[in-house]
Structure 1
Amino acid sequence: MSSAGQTSRRQLLSTVGAGVVGLIIGGAGATLIRTGPAAERTVTVTAQQRETVTQPGVTVTRTAELTRTVEKTLTVEKQFPQAPEAIRIGYSISLTGQYAAVAKRQHDGVLMWADWVNRQGGLFVAEYNKKIPVRVIYYDDESNTERAIVLYEKLVTEDKVHALLGPYGSPLTAAVAPIAEKHKKVMITSLGSDDYIFEKGYKYLVQPLTPASQYLYSSIDFLKATDPSANKVAVIYRDVAFTKVAGESAVNYARQQGLNVVYVKSYPDKISDLSSVLLEVKASNPDALLIGSHIADGTLAVRQLKELNINLKFVSVTVAITEPAFVEGVGGYKAVEGLAGPSQWEVGYNVKNIDYGPNASELIATYTAKTGIEPTYHTTAGFAGALYLGYAIEKAGTLDNDEIRKVFNTMTLSTVYGDFKIDPATGKQLAHKMVLVQWQGGKKAIIWPPEGATAKAIYPIPTWDSKR
C-alpha cells in the first residue's frame, strides 16, 4: 500500500477510536471528574476502509477491515439517593405523673444531645454521602403504660421515625418493647434497667445502663471491703419489677460474697407506713440495710428510720438517694449525712479515655448554663442513650435498622457515661459500671469504686441523735 494509503488508514482508526469513546461517554451520561474510583473500559473498534486503485485498463477496489483496541479510564460520579430532611428519633417521656421529676431530666439529656449533634451539622450517613440533622419527636406519656403503647405506635406508623429511644423506667419500657420489635425499630432503653425485659428474645432493644440486678452490688462490695466484720445484712424492697429484681439479686449476691442475710422483706407498691417492717429490721440486728426503692418509698423508709431512731453502720438506698426530694423528705442535708446509694453516673465521675462525644466538664457546663443545676445520672443516661444511637447510625452508614442493630453487636465504646458493650443475643448491657455515692457535707461524694472515689467514705454513718 502507498504511504498515502497508510496515513489514511491511521487517521481513520484514530478518528473511529475517538468517536466510539466519545459515544460511550456521551451515551452513558457520565460526568468526568478527577477524583473517585476509576472504572477501566476496553473498547474494540472495527471499521472498513475502501481503497480504489486505477491501473492502465484496470480499476480495482479493495476493502480492508481494520481493527483497533481503544483503552480509556473513565471516572464516573456516583449518584446518591435523596436524603431525608432530618433523621427522626422518637420516644415518649413522663413529663407528668409519678415519674415526672426524674423523667424530665432524661428528656433534658436527649434534647442536649440533639443540640450537640446539630451544632456539628448532623450525623454523617454514608448512604446519602452527607450530614443530616436530627429531629426528636416526643409526647408526654403521663407515666401511664397504656398511653405509652399508643404513643409508640403513633411514632412508628404516623410520624415515621427512623429509630426509637425508650421511655423512663422499666414498667413503661417493658410495655412498649413489643412495639419496637413488631416494627423492627431499634430502641435504646436509656433508663429501662430491668433484666427480664432482655430475657424475652427481643432483637431490637439495646440497653446502655447497668441492669437492675446489679444495682446494689457496689454497696455490698463496699461493705465487705471496708468492714469485714460487718457481715449481717438486711434487705427490704418494693414489690414491683425493677426494685424486686434489685432486692432479690442483692440477697443472692450478698450470700455469694459470704455475708449473712439476716432479714428479707418485700412491701407493697402503694404504702404509706413502713414502721412495722423497719422494727423487724431492727430486731434482726443487722450491720447494714439495703433498700430497693424508688423516690417516694425510699424517702419514707429513711425518714421512718430516723423517727424510730434505728441506727446502722451502713444504709444504701436505690434511686431516691440522688434526689433533692429525698434530702428534703428526710429532713435536710444534716439528716442525710452518711447515707449512701448506687448511681449510674455522678458529677465527679471522670472517664479517662473517651472515644466519642463530649467530656464530663463540657456536658456539665452545658447543662448547668441551661438549667442552673448540675445534671444527675438521669440526664447523662438520656444523653448517652441517644449518643450511642447516633454513633451506631454513623458507623452503619445507613438508616436501615437491621444494619444499625448489627453495629451494636460489636460496638465497644467509652463516653462521658462510661463503658459500653452489649450481649449481642439479648441487647443487655455488659460493660457499664455503677458508682456508690454518699451524702457528705451537703454534697454527693463518690466512695466506690476506689479508683473513681472523690472522697473517703464516712463509716460507720453518724447516729440519728448526733445529726439532730
Structure 2
Amino acid sequence: MAAPYRNRLRLGACLSLSGKYARFGGQARLALDIWRSTTDAVDLLIEDDGSDPERVDALLPRLSAECDLLLGPYSTLLMRRAGTIAAAMGRLIWNHGGSGDDVETAHPGHVVSVLTPASRYAEPFVRHLATQQDPRPLRIVQGKGSFARQVAGGAERLAHALGLRTVSSPTPEAWDLFCAGSFEDDVRAVTYARSLPMPPRSVCAVAAGVREFGEAVGDPVGVYGVGQWFPGGGDRVELSMAEDDFLTAYRERAGSLPDYPAVQAVAAAAIATHCARQAGSTARAELWSAATALETTTLFGAFKVDPRTGAQVGHQTAFIRWDAEGPAITEGP
C-alpha cells in the first residue's frame, strides 16, 4: 500500500537496463535522472527488470512496498504484466512504456497512460491522405504481434471512416502504403514497395519515426513516419521541463539526442508527482481522481485521459517526413 503523503516523494520504476529492451530502458533511466535533478522533492528507486516479465513479477511488489509512486516498464509485453500486478496490489501505476490498447484499458482505476494508444498511431498519415484531391487505394502491411495488429486495425477503420479504399496487395494503379511491424519488417516492406515498377505514391511506416530508419533504407527522402514523439513538436509546456532544456541536458550527458522512451518516462514522472501534490495523497483513488481531472502539456505533448478507462485521449502521435537533411515534424508534404 502507498505510504502516507510526504513532501519528498519516493518514485519507483522497473526499467530494462539489460536484455532486449536495454537500449530504451537505459535512456529512460538517464532521462529520469536528469528530470530528478530539477527538483529536490523526489527520490528515485530504479530496478532492472532484465526485459523479463517474471522479473517484473518479483520486483514490482518490492517497489510497491518501498515507494509512493510507481512507474511501469518499457514495452507493451512488460507493461501488460505490470498492470495486472498493480491492480492485484490495489496500486496505481503510471504507464509510459506500453501503448497497446488492451494495456491502457485493462485495469481502470489502476493504470494511467501517457501514450497514444496503438490503434491511433496512424491517424496523422491517414487523415493526410484523406485531404488529397486524388485519393488512392491504401495498402496496410501488418507485422506480427498485438501492437502491429492494433496499429493496422486502427488505420483500416479510420481509412474506411474517411472514405478511403484499402487493398491487400500492390495495384497497377497509383496507391499508398502504410506499414506497421517491427523495425526490420517495416524496412523490408518499404524497400520492396519502392522497388516495384509501380511504387506507392506515399509511404508511411512506424519504423520511419526513428533516426536509424534513414541508414537502414539508404534513401529515405519522401517517406513519412509516425511515432509517439519527435524533437521539434513545438507544444507549449505547462508542466515540468521544456523540451529544449531537456534535450540540452540529455545531449551533454549522452552525447546524442534521446529517442521517445526517454521523453515518455519524464512525462509520466512529472505528471505522477504533480497529481500526488494536487491530491495531497499517494493513495490509489486520490491519484486516479487527480489524473482523470488533469488536462495539461509536457515536453512529450498533450495529456488527458479517459476517466472511464485511463486510456490516453489527448496525446497525438508525431508525424514526420524525411528530406535530404533528415526527418522533421510535418503537417503534410
Q: What is the TM-score with the length of structure 1 in the denominator? A: 0.66
> Larger Cα Rg: Structure 1 or Structure 2?
1
CA distance in 1, matches of 2:4, 2:330: 52
CA distance in 1, matches of 2:82, 2:198: 41
Alignment of 1:166-315 (within 5 A): 166-225=72-131, 227-263=132-168, 281-283=169-171, 285=173, 287-305=175-193, 311-315=199-203
Query: Is the CA contact (8 Å cut-off) linking 2:211 and 2:327 kept in structure 1?
Result: no
SS at 2:38's partner residue? helix
SS at 2:321's partner residue? strand
Aligned residue pairs total: 331
SS at 1:167's partner residue? coil
Query: Is the CA contact (8 Å cut-off) linking 1:181 and 1:204 kept in structure 2?
Result: yes
Q: What is the TM-score with the length of structure 2 in the denominator? A: 0.91
1:190, distance to aligned residue in structure 2 (A): 0.8
CA distance in 2, matches of 1:217, 1:114: 33
- 1:168/1:82 Cα in 2 relative to 1: closer, same or farther (>3 Å)? closer
Provide the identity percentage: 24
Which letter does structure 2 place at the counterpart of 1:325? Answer: E
Which letter does structure 2 place at the counterpart of 1:174? Answer: R
- 1:402/1:83 Cα in 2 relative to 1: closer, same or farther (>3 Å)? closer
SS at 2:330's partner residue? strand
SS at 1:108's partner residue? helix
Query: Is the CA contact (8 Å cut-off) linking 2:137 and 2:175 kept in structure 1?
Result: yes
Which letter does structure 1 place at the counterpart of 2:158? Answer: Y
1:360, distance to aligned residue in structure 2 (A): 2.0
CA distance in 2, matches of 1:234, 1:289: 5
1:298, distance to aligned residue in structure 2 (A): 2.0
Q: Could you say which structure has the greater relative contact order, defined with CA pairs below 8 angstroms and 6 or more residues apart?
A: 2
Which letter does structure 1 place at the counterpart of 2:109? Answer: K
- 1:440/1:304 Cα in 2 relative to 1: closer, same or farther (>3 Å)? same
Query: Is the CA contact (8 Å cut-off) linking 1:303 and 1:329 kept in structure 2?
Result: no
1:299, distance to aligned residue in structure 2 (A): 2.5
Q: Match for residue 138 of structure 1?
A: 46
- 1:83/1:224 Cα in 2 relative to 1: closer, same or farther (>3 Å)? closer
Of residues 256, 262, 267, the one that matches 1:384 is 267
1:304, distance to aligned residue in structure 2 (A): 3.7
Between structures 1 and 2, the one with greater strand share: 1
> RMSD between aligned alpha carbons?
2.3
Which letter does structure 2 place at the counterpart of 1:192? Answer: G
Residues 1:325 and 2:212 aligned together: yes
Q: Match for residue 228 of structure 2?
A: 344
Which letter does structure 2 place at the counterpart of 1:210? Answer: T
SS at 2:240's partner residue? coil
Query: Is the CA contact (8 Å cut-off) linking 2:83 and 2:107 kept in structure 1?
Result: no
1:199, distance to aligned residue in structure 2 (A): 3.4
1:236, distance to aligned residue in structure 2 (A): 1.1
Query: Is the CA contact (8 Å cut-off) linking 1:236 and 1:292 kept in structure 2?
Result: yes
Query: Is the CA contact (8 Å cut-off) linking 1:93 and 1:103 kept in structure 2?
Result: yes
Stretches of structure 2 that go unaligned for 5 or more consecutive residues are none
User: What is the CA deviation profile of residues 382-411 of structure 1, one whole-angstrom value per residue up to 9, with x for unaligned ones?
Assistant: 111111011111111223332222211211
Q: Match for residue 62 of structure 1?
A: none
Residues 1:152 and 2:74 aligned together: no
Query: Is the CA contact (8 Å cut-off) linking 1:95 and 1:104 kept in structure 2?
Result: yes
